[in-house]
């Protein structure tokens, strides 16, 4: 076998032509979204005022395994895909480990993360439906940036509700979005009824993704020609992100590499769901047995300390209920938490896989994540996003364990993006001012007490 290159790229004719819908092969399907009023499964008609029609069809379909990628989206993908699968030779050497480490790098586009993979698909379907524009929320700003790029490409209006703490801490993200023509509002705002209500109940709040979602949905449903789009959590987003896993699978196959462990960070679950999709398919079918690990922040530990239950997807309780690992829709993570992994819930697909024991989860404290990020940056060159660095941390730990046991395991992890807009967090880390806030059991109990009762 020839030497494995530092970077494995696919040729254009080796690129995936269809997205893969893991739900089609799951024995226990993820639970359906429920109507917040009636608690009946949401129908396409219920969802039509909120989401684009074709995206609703993708959302509700747990039978079709492959969805062909439309040509217009393929053409856009060609501008920044395939993303490289990198063999981390330099990191392996620095760790002096027998492990073989690979990472799939999604930061090679202007928005700096994997989110563009779904943003372009969602903008395409909105345009195809003849809509005027879309609304959304953004936390750390990557999703808003990706969506702004996608909307400007297809000539759609884009209204972004940005979590207030990020709006203030990340002015450059905001300006990138405005450069691509988006209208950016800090959330909670006084522009919406739900925003005014949240501000009245929690004066001085720094906001949360849950609040921003409520505002964006209110504006979408109240403005003719608009729909709401979401950058994570939903089944349709995992479907689009399967491009990450399918490319990874093809790149590994090209060199006859079989992974032992696959690791990804988990906020709402979209990059992880996409990365693992084809590998989980083979695991479910008994064709292979991989260890698949989700990494979440100790400050927002949905899998490891949350409850598997129906919950609201947003703070304002206007969205459907989803069955997921959740910390409660009222949970607002500490504002000093740097990463974008702040959502209270988790993709219902990943939640079901975790409940079935097919997926492991680990939570890690923030300062250890930044130690890993710095270690990685110094040898591999890439400046990683704090979110991505959760996966780096666990991949390094795994490689160091291999050093002790002498096992030459093959580790694959998702490097979801770059951290150029996260220098305030890096600064806090370097100045020794970063803290590891971990919610108390009482705090979580208080939030989980307010889960809706669904029978």
Ligand X SMILES: *Cc1c(COP(=O)(O)O)cnc(C)c1O
Counting Cα atoms < 13 Å in the Cβ hemisphere of 174 gives: 16
Task: Using CB under 6 A, pick the residue from 417, 429, 434, 439 that binds ligand X.
Answer: 417
3-state secondary structure of 155: coil
One of 329, 388, 389, 447 touching ligand X (CB under 6 A): 388
The distance of Cα 50 from the centroid of its chain, to the nearest Å, equals 21
The sign of the dihedral angle between the CA atoms of 148, 151, 152, 158 is negative
Residue 324 found at the interface with ligand X (CB under 6 A): no
Residue 372 makes contact with ligand X by CB under 6 A? no
For the CB of residue 93, give the shortest distance to ligand X in the complex, in Å. 26
From 7-15, 125-133, 267-275, 444-452, give the range in contact with ligand X by CB under 6 A: 267-275
Rounded to a whole number of angstroms, the minimum distance from the CB of residue 281 to ligand X is 19
Of the candidates 319, 308, 321, the one whose C-alpha atom is nearest the C-alpha of residue 33 is 321
Q: Is 240 in the site for ligand X (CB under 6 A)?
A: no
Under rule CB under 6 A, residue 416 binds ligand X:
yes
- Closest by alpha carbon to 244, among 101, 72, 102? 102
- Identity of the residue, 233 or 332, whose beta carbon is nearer to ligand X in the bound complex: 233
Rounded distance between C-alpha atoms, residue 218 and residue 398, angstroms: 44
Contact between 224 and 48 under an 8 Å Cβ cutoff? The reply is: no
CA–CA separation, 355 and 214 (whole Å): 28
Question: Residue 161: how many CB atoms within 10 A of its CB?
Answer: 32
Check residue 387 for interaction with ligand X (CB under 6 A).
yes
- Candidate segments 87-95, 260-268, 277-285, 364-372, binder of ligand X by CB under 6 A: 260-268
- Site residues (CB under 6 A) for ligand X, limited to 157-186: none
Per-residue x/- marks for ligand X, 110-129, CB under 6 A?
---x-x--------------
In angstroms, the CA 302 to CA 431 distance is: 29
Which of 126, 182, 209, 385 is the binder for ligand X (CB under 6 A)?
385
> Which residues sit opposite 104 in a β-bridge?
85, 414
**Segment interacting with ligand X (CB under 6 A) among 71-79, 268-276, 317-325, 360-368:** 268-276
Residue 2 beta carbon to ligand X: minimum distance, rounded to whole angstroms: 32
270 binds ligand X (CB under 6 A): yes
CA–CA dist 10, 250 (Å, integer)? 8
Please state the φ and ψ torsions of residue 161, each to the nearest 5 degrees: -95, 115
Cβ 38 to ligand X, closest distance in Å? 29
β partners of residue 97 = none
Q: Is 268 a binder of ligand X (CB under 6 A)?
A: yes
Residues that bind ligand X (CB under 6 A): 113, 115, 142, 232, 265-272, 340-341, 385, 387-388, 416-417
């Amino acid at each position: 076998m020839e030497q494995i290159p530092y970077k494995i790229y696919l040729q254009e004719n080796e690129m995936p032509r269809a997205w893969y819908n893991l739900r089609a092969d799951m024995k226990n399907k993820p639970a359906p979204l429920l109507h917040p009023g009636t608690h009946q499964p949401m129908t396409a008609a219920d969802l039509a005022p909120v989401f684009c029609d074709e995206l609703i069809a993708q959302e509700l379909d747990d039978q079709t395994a492959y969805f062909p990628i439309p040509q217009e989206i393929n053409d856009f993908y060609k501008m920044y895909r395939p993303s490289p699968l990198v063999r981390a030779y330099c990191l392996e050497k620095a760790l002096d480990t027998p492990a073989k480490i690979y990472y799939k790098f999604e930061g090679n586009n202007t928005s700096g993360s994997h989110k563009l993979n779904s943003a372009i698909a969602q903008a395409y379907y909105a345009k195809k439906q003849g809509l005027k524009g879309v609304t959304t929320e953004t936390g750390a700003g990557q999703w808003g940036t990706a969506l702004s790029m996608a909307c400007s490409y297809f000539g759609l209006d884009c209204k972004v509700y940005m979590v207030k703490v990020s709006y203030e801490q990340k002015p450059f993200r905001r300006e990138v979005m405005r450069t691509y023509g988006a209208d950016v509002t800090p959330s909670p705002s006084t522009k919406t009824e739900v925003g005014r209500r949240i501000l009245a109940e929690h004066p001085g709040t720094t906001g949360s993704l849950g609040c921003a979602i409520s505002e964006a949905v209110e504006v979408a449903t109240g403005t003719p020609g608009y729909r709401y789009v979401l950058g994570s959590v939903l089944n349709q987003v995992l479907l689009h992100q399967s491009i990450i896993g399918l490319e990874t699978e093809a790149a590994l196959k090209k060199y006859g590499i079989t992974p032992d462990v696959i690791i990804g960070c988990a906020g709402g679950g979209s990059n992880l769901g996409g990365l693992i999709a084809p590998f989980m398919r083979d695991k479910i079918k008994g064709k292979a047995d991989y260890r698949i690990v989700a990494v979440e922040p100790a400050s927002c530990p949905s899998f490891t300390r949350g409850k598997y239950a129906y919950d609201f997807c947003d703070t304002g309780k206007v969205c459907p209920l989803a069955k997921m690992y959740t910390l409660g829709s009222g949970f607002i993570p500490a504002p000093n938490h740097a990463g974008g992994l702040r959502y209270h819930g988790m993709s219902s697909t990943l939640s079901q896989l975790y409940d079935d024991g097919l997926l492991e989860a680990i939570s890690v404290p923030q300062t250890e994540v930044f130690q890993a990020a710095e270690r990685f940056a110094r040898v591999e060159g890439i400046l990683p996003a704090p979110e991505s660095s959760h996966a780096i941390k666990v991949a390094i730990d795994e490689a160091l364990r291999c050093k002790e046991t002498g096992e030459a395991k093959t580790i694959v992890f998702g490097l979801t993006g770059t951290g150029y807009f996260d220098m305030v967090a890096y600064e806090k880390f370097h100045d020794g001012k970063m803290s590891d806030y971990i919610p108390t059991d009482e705090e979580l109990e208080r939030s989980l007490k307010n889960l809706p009762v669904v029978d």
